[in-house]
Amino acid sequence: MSATLSSLVSLVIVLALIPVSLWIARRFMAPGTGSAGQGPIRIRATATLGPRERIVIVEAAGKSLLVGITAQSMQTLAEFDDAPEFDQPEAPAFASLLKGIRRS
């Protein structure tokens, strides 16, 4: 009976350590790495061109840069003085459903 009890206590300790470790990771994560749109550099839009290729509009220091990204390199394709405004895309149906479930 004591072997079962020690196994159960070990399981409870391990399950309790999971949320604690997630909280610690979020607490000490570098600023700006966990959420887009914070800090001096923001990603405004992204378009995937292939499995490892994409283009990104990055806003930094009051300018917008069109950057091409591949598996091997990054290259500035264009530079804009005024940042273009983008409409926020609607959330997909699954994301909306998931938000409704989380609120309940």
Structure confidence by residue, pLDDT tens digits, 16-30 = 999 989 888 887 775
Give the burial class of 57: count Cβ atoms within 10 A of its Cβ; 0-12 exposed, 13-18 middle, 19 or more buried: buried
**Residue of 85 and 36 predicted with greater confidence:** 85
- Are 70 and 56 in contact by the 8 Å Cβ rule? The answer is no
Mean pLDDT of 88-102: 68
DSSP state letter for 37: T
pLDDT of residue 84: 64
